[in-house]
Amino acid sequence: MIIPCIDLLGGKVVQLRQGREKVLEADPPLAMLEKFAAFPQIQVIDLDAAWGSGGNDAIVRELAQRAVIRAGGGIRTVEHALSLLDEGVYQVIIGTAAFTPEGVNRAFLEALPRDRVVIALDSRDGKIVTRGWRHAMQFTAEEIIAEMEPHGAGFLCTCVDKEGMLEGTDLSWFGRLRAATRLEITAAGGISTVEEIRTLMGMNIHAALGMAVYTGRLSLDELARMNAGSL
């Protein structure tokens, strides 16, 4: 499955390079949702909430009423996660709150319905990063992914080193993750060619796409046909 991404910052749809540098602003959220109407699921990330500098819950909830979305960014309390699910979000993406300094935050994850949770395993320089990709943990995604299997429906694995660079992603890393878990994996970060998407699909890995779509590197029409299995 190909999953287009809507990243929210200050109420606007943006694209960042490596989670830091704003590269572009796109059409308003509802307009982008309309552009992505051919895709069965949309990923929505609240960057303000991830950075602890505000939030875009009203926009997230409105999008959830109009499309099947998985939403993440700054979901750090059980109450927040459950409220989003109650408001129509299909799945919540849990990153920072999924971890303690020692490993898995079981108490948090076990308070949520497993089938409605996607665990974010974001990696920079080989280590898991949290708090808006600004804090590095002491373990790798490969080391912890199997331990986290009982607590979610799947994983969103972002190669932060490649994110927003349009230089390709780390297919070997995704291959190692695929070998380490039986659960659903969604790949993100640097995916910029149809060939990469096909390789990921061949590994039974979904592709979450941002910069390559917003810059026109990849055609939405072609991606929609791929998603439908006609290419």
Query: Taking a C-beta distance cutoff of 8 angstroms, is the pair 218, 191 a contact?
Result: no
The domain spans of the chain are 2-227
Superfamily the domain 2-227 falls into: Aldolase class I (3.20.20.70)
Most confident listed range (133-137, 162-166, 186-190): 186-190
Annotated catalytic residue, options 46, 48, 57, 122: 122
- Contact in structure between 43 and 4 (CB atoms under 8 Å): yes
For the stretch 185-224, pLDDT in tens is: 999 999 999 999 999 999 999 999 999 999 999 999 999 9
- Sequence-separated (6 or more) residues with CB below 8 Å from residue 150: 114
- DSSP three-state, residue 128: strand
Determine the Cα–Cα distance for residues 87 and 110; give it in Å rounded to an integer.
20
122 is catalytic: yes
Say which of 7, 46, 48, 57 is annotated catalytic.
7
Residue appearing with tokens 């059980």: 78
pLDDT in tens, 26-82: 999 999 999 999 999 999 999 999 999 999 999 999 999 999 999 999 999 999 999
7 is catalytic: yes
